[in-house]
Amino acid sequence: MPKQFHELRERLLNAGVAPRHVQRYLKELADHLADLRAEEVRAGRGRAEAESAALDRLGSIDDLSKAMIEQRQFQSWCARAPWAAFGLAPLLFLAAAYFIACFILWSGWKIFLPRADTPFGTPIPIYSFQNIYFQIGRFIYFTSPVLIGWLIGLVAARQRLSMAWPTLSLVLIAWMGGTAQIQASRTAVAGGFGHISMNFFRLGSSGQNVSEDIFHALIILTVALLPHMIWRLRHHYARST
């Protein structure tokens, strides 16, 4: 890819053009440039002269970027509605992940521990497959805030977004993940049917619980943010050199 295309790509991504549109545009431009270069060589120009003439015919970076940026339909959702992409969507994803984790816990409790009052810390021994089943739910519960955080970082990196929206999104995810609490009880429900519920965004009642929630939220925030920060530093360094 010619050096000019790198600049064009950065301009388009910074202007909010969706990465898939940018990728396709650059691919077609590269093909077009190859055709123009071949045409100029056939016309008798030297290699360097042909390259220069081909780039000139293709259009300036200003024209090429302006033509794409002016068409709003090529804008990504992150640029069109960042509040939805970085506010609403991650919280909905996390809620969906917690729902799946709760469903696994509830179904495992019903299938494998039908006599236990709670699926947590039961004295009834559980064996390999049952254990794996519960561990899958546990894995989803504990890793989903971080995985969603990494996904936010990846989207922000691909689209060259400023830190503001991704940071807000990660803080929301960390807060929701850090304060998430799951309760399971059979005896509290008439008829003995197992009941599972979750709380979010509410700090613990005692001082120790509050500090644990904040600590948990900070751990999620740090782990989720770290890869994106490393990418930003590397990208900044690569651009400056």
Partner 1 sequence: MALRETNPNFMNGVPELLILSLLGEQEMYGYEIVQAIRQRTAAVIAVGEGVVYPVLHGLEGDGALKSRRKTINGRGRIYYSVTPRGARRLADLSQNWTNLTTAIQNILIGGQNAQAVS
* 183: contact with partner 1 by CB under 8 A: no
Q: Quote the distance between the C-alpha of residue 215 and its chain's center.
A: 22
Which part of the chain contacts partner 1 (CB under 8 A), choosing from 58-66, 108-116, 148-156, 214-222?
58-66
* 68: contact with partner 1 by CB under 8 A: yes
Q: Quote the distance between the C-alpha of residue 137 and its chain's center.
A: 21
Mark residues 26-55: x for contact with partner 1 by CB under 8 A, - for none.
Answer: --xx-xx-xxx-------------------
Which part of the chain contacts partner 1 (CB under 8 A), choosing from 18-26, 40-48, 106-114, 136-144?
18-26
3-state secondary structure 47-88: HHHHHHHHHHHHCCHHHHHHHHHCCHHHECHHHHCHHHHHHH
Sign of CA dihedral 199, 205, 208, 214: positive
Nearer to partner 1, 25 or 165 (CB): 25
Residue among 91, 78, 102 at smallest CA distance from 173:
91
* 74: contact with partner 1 by CB under 8 A: yes
Q: Least separation, in Å, of the C-beta of 28 and partner 1? A: 5
| Interface residue with partner 1, options 42, 44, 48, 73 (CB under 8 A) | 73
* 79: contact with partner 1 by CB under 8 A: no
Query: Are 186 and 193 spatial neighbours (Cβ–Cβ below 8 Å)?
Result: yes
**Which residues of this protein are in contact with partner 1, per CB under 8 A?**
21, 24-25, 28-29, 31-32, 34-36, 57-60, 63-64, 66-68, 70-71, 73-74
